[in-house]
Chain A
Amino acid sequence: MSAARPGRLAWPFGLCLGLLLGCGADASTLSASDVWSRPTVAAGAEPDLSLPGVVYLSLRNGGDTHERLTGAHSTVCARVELHRTRRVDGRSRMQAVPEGALVPAGGQLELAPGGLHLMLIGLRRGLRPGDSLPLTLAFASGATLELAATVRPP
C-alpha cells in the first residue's frame, strides 16, 4: 500500500523505555509496527455497525524461539478473527486462519492488504480516519502485545 504515514519520530523512544521497564521476557521480544486500520464510515455519516473492520500490522520477533499469533481482541468489536486472502486465477478467497500464523524467531510476519489481516467483527462504533483503536494480540506462548491501530485516511 502506498498510503503515507505521518512521521512518528517521538514514538520509539517513549515506547522503548516502556518496553524496558514494564515488560515480561516473552513480550519484550515481540514488537509491532505499521498498525493501521481502514475507515468504515464516511465523514458526517451514521456508522453501519454490521460492516467489518480490518487491522494490518507488521510483527517482529526479536527472540530466538518461534512465536505463533493465535488471536486478538479489541474493545471496539465483539470479536477479532485472523483471516487470509488467497488469490487463485484472479479470484480472491477469504479463509479464517484458526491455527494462527507463525512469527519466526528473528523474523517478521506481515499482515497486509491482500494477505493476512485481522477482521473486526461486530463493531461497536464506526471507524473514522484518525481514530485510534486498542488491540491486544495473543500468542501461543502466552505472550500478549497491546497495540493501538490508527485509522488511516481512505
Chain B
Amino acid sequence: MTNAPHRPGRATTGPSPRPPRPLLLGLLAALALPACDDAPTAQPGQLSEGPAGASTDGGDPSPLTDASDDNPGGFAGTPVDGTPLAPEIALDDQHGRPFRLSAQRGRVVLLSFGFVHCPDVCPATLSHWAAALRQLGDDANRVRCVFVSVDPERDTPERLAGHLAIYDERLTGLGGDEAQLAPIWSGFGVQREVVRFGDHAGSYLVDHSTEMLLIDAEGRQRVRLPFDAPVEDLLHDLRLLLP
C-alpha cells in the first residue's frame, strides 16, 4: 500500500456523489440564465438538492416566459417574497458586546444559523463569508456577517470566538441560552433538531435550517442563498444590496 497519485488541477465537483440529473439541471439552467445575465458564475448544478426547483411549473421552455417575475432584483439567490422586516435579534456577541439587529440599519446583514461543532455545512458557509469579506475590500465595512447559534448547550461565547476567528475576526457570533435563542429561531423560521450519533453521550449534531439570509440596509429580508452558495453569488447579491 502506498499513497495514491494526486491529480493536480482537478477541481472538486459538486456536493452530490450521484450522477447529475440532466432534465432537472436543464430546467434549472433555463430558469436561472435569463435572470442572471450579469452573474455568469451562477451554477444551477449546485442547487440540485436545494429549494431552487420549486417554481418549475411544467418546464415550458417558451422564451416568452418572463423569468424576471420570479427574480425582480436579478439576484443570484432566491428573493424573499414581500421583503418583510427582519425580526429583532438582541444578544451578546462572542466578545460579550451587546448586538441588536435593528442597530445594523445602513449595513447589509448576512445571517446564518449554525453551531461550532458542525463539521461540514457551517464551515462551508463561514469560509465563503470570509472570502467575500476579503474581496469586498472597503465595502466590507457596510456588511455584517452574523452567525446565530442553534446549539446553546455547547456554543459558549469562548467557543464562538475561537471558531469564528479561524475564518475572519469580523464575523459576528451570537449565542445565548435556549430561552433567548428559541424566539429568534422561530422568528426566522429556523427548524432545528438535536440528533445523537455514535455511542458517546456528548456526541450530537444539530440538524438545522442552513440557508443564508441577506437583510438589506433598511432591515428587510431580501434574498436567501444555499449554505454553500459560491462566493461570486454572495458578492453579486451583496453588491446589489449595498447602500
A interface residues (Cβ-Cβ under 8 A, vs B): 1-3, 5, 7-9, 11-12, 15-16, 18-19, 21-24, 27, 30-35, 38-42, 45, 48, 50-54, 56, 58, 79, 81, 83, 85-87, 89-94, 96, 101, 109-117, 119-121, 144-148, 154
Contact = CB atoms under 8 A, between A and B. Distances in A.
B119 A53 contact: yes
B209 A90 contact: yes
B138 interface: no
Contacts of A11: 5-6, 8
B97 interface: no
Contacts of A91: 191, 207-210
B78 to A, nearest CB: 9
- B12, B15, B207 — which one has the most chain A CB atoms within 10 A of its CB? B12
Given A93-B195, A145-B1, 11 more contacts: A2-B230, A12-B8, A31-B5, A34-B6, A34-B10, A54-B119, A90-B224, A92-B209, A94-B207, A111-B17, A144-B1
A87 B210 contact: yes
A43 B141 CA distance: 23
Nearest to A56: B12
14 contacts: A11-B8, A21-B2, A27-B1, A33-B4, A45-B162, A48-B162, A52-B119, A86-B49, A91-B208, A92-B121, A110-B14, A110-B17, A112-B14, A154-B166
- B17, B167, B197, B205 — which one has the most chain A CB atoms within 10 A of its CB? B17
B12 A92 contact: no
Contacts of B93: none
Nearest to B48: A87
Contact of B1 (A35, A117, A121, A146): A146
Interface string B154-190: 1000010011011100000000000000000000000
Given A1-B12, A89-B51, A101-B17, A145 B4 contact: yes
> Which 7 pairs between the two chains have the least Cβ-Cβ distance?
A114-B15, A31-B4, A42-B165, A18-B2, A115-B15, A92-B210, A52-B119
Determine the interface band of chain B, counting residues with CB < 8 A from chain A: 35 or more
Q: Is the interface of B mostly helix, strand, loop or mixed?
A: loop
B120 A15 contact: no
Interface string B105-145: 00000000000110111011011001100000000000000
A115 B45 CA distance: 14
Contact of B124 (A52, A111, A114): A114
B9 interface: yes
A44 B130 CA distance: 18
Nearest to B202: A50
A48 B17 contact: no
Contacts of A117: 119-120
A94 B6 contact: no
Contacts of A24: 1
A147 to B, nearest CB: 6
Contacts of B197: 81, 94, 96
Given A16-B5, A90-B209, A146-B1, A38 B15 contact: no
B16 interface: yes
A7 B10 CA distance: 10
Nearest to B49: A87
